[in-house]
C-alpha cells in the first residue's frame, strides 16, 4: 500500500470512528442544557391583557416544561444561572363560524408573547418576540360553557407556547 493510500485509509477510519463516538455520545442521554444552564428562574409573566390569571398559567406551564426532563432545576432568582421573563402582549378573540348574523358557532383566540432569557449578570442569552399561537373553540348558546371552552383554549395555547420555548431554547443556542 502506498503512503497516500495509507493516509486516506487512516483518515477514513478516524472519520468513521469519530462519527460512531459522536453518535454514541449524543444518544447516551447526557445532552447538555441550553446555554449551560442548570438552574433557571421563571418570573411571573407581565399580563397586558384583560384575562385575569393568564400570567400564572403561562409561567407555571413554562416551569413544568423546562423542568420536565430533569436537566434544569427551577430556582429562586438569587440562585439561578438565568432568569426567563415573559410578557403576554395581546389576546385577540374573533368569530370564525356563525349560525346567524349574531350567533357564533366557533371562535378563535390568539395570544402573543415576548420572552427574554438573561444570565445572572443581565446579559440577554435568548429572546423571542411576537410568539403567537391561535386555538379555536366552540361557542354555544350557554355563555358559561362558551367561557369554559375559551379558558381551555387559553390553557392549551399556554402549553403549546411552553413546548415551543423549550424546543427553541434547546436548538437555538
What's the CATH code of the domain at 136? 3.30.160.150
* pLDDT profile of the chain (173 residues), mean per 10: 55 49 38 86 97 96 92 94 97 94 94 97 95 97 97 98 93 66
What confidence score (pLDDT) does residue 24 get? 36
C-alpha span between 13 and 16 (Å, rounded): 5
Q: What is the pTM of this model?
A: 0.79
What confidence score (pLDDT) does residue 69 get? 84
Is residue 5 located within the same domain as residue 74?
Answer: no
What confidence score (pLDDT) does residue 93 get? 97
Is residue 81 located within the same domain as residue 150?
Answer: yes
C-alpha span between 144 and 159 (Å, rounded): 23
Structural domains counted in the chain: 2
Q: How many CB atoms lie within 10 A of CB 134?
A: 15
Is residue 15 located within the same domain as residue 48?
Answer: no
Is residue 67 located within the same domain as residue 1?
Answer: no
Is residue 15 located within the same domain as residue 64?
Answer: no
C-alpha span between 31 and 14 (Å, rounded): 23
Domain that holds residue 18: 1-30
Amino acid at each position: 500500500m502506498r503512503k497516500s493510500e495509507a493516509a486516506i485509509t487512516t483518515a477514513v477510519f478516524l472519520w468513521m470512528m469519530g462519527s460512531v463516538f459522536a453518535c454514541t455520545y449524543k444518544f447516551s442521554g447526557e445532552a447538555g442544557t441550553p446555554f449551560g444552564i442548570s438552574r433557571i428562574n421563571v418570573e411571573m409573566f407581565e399580563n397586558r391583557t384583560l384575562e385575569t390569571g393568564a400570567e400564572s398559567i403561562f409561567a407555571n406551564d413554562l416551569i413544568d416544561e423546562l423542568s420536565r426532563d430533569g436537566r434544569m432545576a427551577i430556582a429562586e432568582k438569587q440562585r439561578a444561572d438565568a432568569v426567563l421573563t415573559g410578557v403576554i402582549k395581546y389576546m385577540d378573540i374573533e368569530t370564525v363560524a356563525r349560525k346567524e348574523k349574531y350567533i357564533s358557532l366557533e371562535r378563535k383566540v390568539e395570544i402573543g408573547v415576548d420572552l427574554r432569557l438573561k444570565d445572572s449578570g443581565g446579559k440577554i442569552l435568548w429572546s423571542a418576540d411576537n410568539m403567537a399561537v391561535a386555538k379555536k373553540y366552540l361557542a354555544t348558546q350557554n355563555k358559561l360553557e362558551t367561557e369554559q371552552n375559551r379558558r381551555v383554549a387559553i390553557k392549551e395555547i399556554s402549553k403549546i407556547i411552553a413546548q415551543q420555548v423549550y424546543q427553541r431554547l434547546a436548538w437555538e443556542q
